[in-house]
A and B are shown apart, each in its own frame.
Chain A
Amino acid sequence: MRNRVREQRTQQGLSQAELAAALGVSRQTVISIESGRYLPSLPLAFAIARFFGLTVDKMFDPDEEEAGT
């Protein structure tokens, strides 16, 4: 599953640590989500989408494979 977390984060000029603090998760979890190694729970997926002002289906695309996975 491909996601746009890294793209959105870099567009807003945020570091992984800053995004993690805003979402209430660890920096390691943000790294895992961005690389596609971890699929977040539904509440966290909604929190991420809301944080960037997008819908969940815009943030996470189940039809596209993560590059390099």
Chain B
Amino acid sequence: MMAFIRPRLRKPLGIAVAGTVFAAAWALRGGTAWQLSVAMEVTVLVSAVTAYVRAGEDNDEGALTGSRADERQELLSLRSRALGWNFAMVAAFIGVTAGVAVKAIWWWPFLVILAVTGFGYLLGLSNYGVAEEGTADDTDTGHQVRSPASS
């Protein structure tokens, strides 16, 4: 489906759609929340237009926003996201620990974040490598299998 959308439009459209859904959720609350919903939608549209403009810039951020990143820029994005998840895990751990310590009722959302990030990490290990280790091709030759770390 994404192939039908121009690369430069993908992220701005994603921002617009996700933001509009979130703004609609506020509107559904009823009462005076519709005012917040309208303000949120305006902010979302401004953000989407800003993302579209930035996607045209000749720099790393522009390439990532414009969905035309090369291998170095993809690596940059991957490392940044990994750092973000690390921060989220540390913040969630601090939150759940503090919540438990003060007998608060808000400790469990932090536990959910911690569980999701931990599960995501294990899923990553499973998908991207651990399951593909295979066996050494010299297991039945009588030679000792050497680890690169010990050589």
A positions within 8 Å CB-CB of B: 24-29, 32, 38, 40-41, 44
Contact = CB atoms under 8 A, between A and B. Distances in A.
A51 to B, nearest CB: 15
B70 A29 contact: yes
A44 B60 CA distance: 18
> What size tier do the contact residues of chain B reach?
under 10
Contacts of B70: 24-26, 29
A60 B71 CA distance: 18
A41 B74 CA distance: 12
B72 interface: yes
Interface of B: 58-60, 63, 69-73
21 contacts: A24-B70, A25-B70, A25-B71, A25-B72, A26-B60, A26-B63, A26-B69, A26-B70, A26-B73, A27-B58, A28-B59, A28-B60, A28-B63, A28-B72, A28-B73, A29-B70, A29-B72, A32-B72, A38-B72, A40-B72, A41-B71
Contacts of A26: 60, 63, 69-70, 72-73
Nearest to A20: B70
